[in-house]
Amino acid sequence: MNQDISGVRICFVIPTYNEALNINPLLRQLTELYRDPDVAFLIVDDESPDCTASLVRDFISKVDSRVHLLQGKRRGLGDAYVRGMTHAIDTLGADVIVQMDADFSHDPAVAGKLLDHIVGGADVAIGSRYVAGGSLDKRWHARRRLLSRWGNRLARWIGGLKGVSDCTAGFKAIRADKLREAKIESVRARGYVFQVELLHRLIRCGARVVEEPIHFRDRERGETKLGMLNMLEFFFNILWLRLRNHITFIKFSLTGVCGVFVNLGSFSLLLEFGLHKFIASPTAILASIVSNFLMNNYWTFGDRVMVGRKSVRGFKFIVVSLIALLVSYTVFVVLSMLFPKALPVLLQAAGIVPGALLNYYLNSRWTFREAPREG
Ligand SMILES: Nc1nc2c(ncn2[C@@H]2O[C@H](COP(=O)(O)OP(=O)(O)O)[C@@H](O)[C@H]2O)c(=O)[nH]1
Ligand SMILES: [Mg+2]
């Protein structure tokens, strides 16, 4: 640590489950590295059967009373972090939280660099494996590497955390006021996906995030607690994070799916009734455009405060529909000429794609444009 941190109350929050082999050497190293009386160390242990907690108690009474122990029932890593961070802020009065694992995967000396970033103005400093200069232990076997890399990719793309390289990192320094603002006590994720949900909330609160490259060592002692259930929870929670913030997009997609059924359904029906395909096609496109409009107006964009009067919207809608119809129909006609033997319903389906995209773009940006929010 290079910068002066006097007066800033720092609390390391370290969850443990069966870390009897690691806890003493870890606490020794941490308490020797960070000697300031304003630094505290909170171990959050969930009834580890290997008596991790009693080793912590011994350490507190015999070596350093800046160490604290918080015990609870085992409900997952995220739950332990929520309890630990809340306790560190509300009871121990922490201004900055450092979260890290107990198995030496996170080098205690690097915590100082993370704290330097916080003193330098960051709200969140991540010990990052995937930023330039960061690395993973060669001993981490292929399955874990793959899981970690893809977990990160998923979090970035589906979870909407595009600016961050290591979204699943468990080594971070975070300002307590940002944690309060992010309403940490209401984080839903119980397992490892806690890291992603927390980061997501912090970024939504406007937190300034920096990444410090680290070398991530595999644990020397004890076993990993990452199980199949954690992985499933991870996936569904990431998906939920995305969905919650993109309800409009989901409603639009569902509307689109209904539109496809209306389009292809009415097209097939009209063909059944003997209508020529070049007449059936635009009629079916029109039917789907009308069904899409009704669903979008009353459902997808129903809660938008929109620009302009209803009659103007109706006019814009007709213009957009005609453009979309023209595009879809042109694609259908061109494909029908290129592939005269192809199933007409397939060609009709191919025409839907460009028409629907254009339809959404123009309707969202123009017909159903949202009024700018005040304040
Ligand atoms: N309190 C608590 N700590 C946990 C729980 N699950 C894992 N941990 C701790 O969280 C940290 C990371 O877990 P670990 O098993 O090393 O995960 P890995 O590094 O992803 O293999 C370690 O310090 C574990 O002891 C839990 O359910 N409760
Ligand atoms: Mg570990």
Extended strands (E) in 100-179:
124-128, 135-136, 172-175
Question: 46 CB less than 6 Å from ligand 1?
Answer: yes
CA distances (Å), 311 to each of 45, 82, 174, 315, 316, in order?
Answer: 63, 51, 51, 6, 9
Lowest-confidence range among 74-78, 153-157, 166-170, 306-310? 306-310
Domain with 174, as residue range(s), is: 10-245
Residue 347 placed within a domain: yes
Residue 287 placed within a domain: yes
- Tell which of 189, 218, 245 closes a domain: 245
For 103-131, the pLDDT digits (tens) are 999 999 999 999 999 999 999 999 999 99
- Tell which of 245, 263, 283 closes a domain: 245
Q: In the predicted model, what is the mean pLDDT of residues 46-54?
A: 96
Q: How many domains does the chain have?
A: 2
Which 3 state secondary structure label does DSSP give 172? strand
Tell whether 172 and 251 lie within a shared domain.
no
Tell whether 98 and 226 lie within a shared domain.
yes
Residue 375 pLDDT > 60: no
Give the pLDDT score at 303.
Answer: 60
For 132-148, the pLDDT digits (tens) are 999 988 887 787 788 88
Question: 300 CB less than 6 Å from ligand 1?
Answer: no
Closest by Cα among 100, 93, 88 to 33: 100
Tell whether 224 and 280 lie within a shared domain.
no
For 312-362, the pLDDT digits (tens) are 877 888 898 889 889 999 999 999 999 999 899 999 999 988 887 888 788
CATH number for the domain that contains residue 15: 3.90.550.10
Tell whether 188 and 99 lie within a shared domain.
yes
Question: 225 CB less than 6 Å from ligand 1?
Answer: yes
Residue 290 placed within a domain: yes
Helix axes of 277-295 and 310-338: crossing angle, nearest 10 degrees: 150
Question: 233 CB less than 6 Å from ligand 1?
Answer: no
Q: How confident is the model at residue 238 (pLDDT cuts 50, 70, 90)?
A: confident
Q: Determine the Cα–Cα distance for residues 126 and 22; give it in Å rounded to an integer.
A: 23
Question: Across all residues in the chain, what is the average pLDDT?
Answer: 88
Return the ligand 1 atom nearest residue 14 CA. Answer: 23
Amino acid present at 373: R
Tell whether 194 and 218 lie within a shared domain.
yes
Residue 1 placed within a domain: no
Extended strands (E) in 177-273:
209-213, 215-216
Q: In the predicted model, what is the mean pLDDT of residues 67-84?
A: 94
Give the pLDDT score at 245.
Answer: 58
Question: 153 CB less than 6 Å from ligand 1?
Answer: no
For 259-300, the pLDDT digits (tens) are 889 999 999 999 999 999 999 999 998 898 888 878 877 887
Return the ligand 1 atom nearest residue 225 CA. Answer: 15
Bridge partners for 42 per DSSP: 13, 68
Tell whether 76 and 114 lie within a shared domain.
yes
Return the ligand 1 atom nearest residue 16 CA. Answer: 25
Residue 185 pLDDT > 60: yes
Residue 373 placed within a domain: no
Return the ligand 1 atom nearest residue 80 CA. Answer: 1
Tell whether 343 and 262 lie within a shared domain.
yes
- Tell which of 187, 210, 245 closes a domain: 245
Q: Determine the Cα–Cα distance for residues 283 and 289; give it in Å rounded to an integer.
A: 10
Mutate to test the pocket of ligand 1, among 225, 228, 229, 234 (most ligand atoms within 8 A of CB): 225
Q: DSSP readout, 276-308?
A: -HHHHHHHHHHHHHHHHHHHIIIIISTT--BSS
CA of 163 relative to ligand 1 center, distance in Å? 26
CA of 141 relative to ligand 2 center, distance in Å? 13
Residue 212 pLDDT > 90: yes
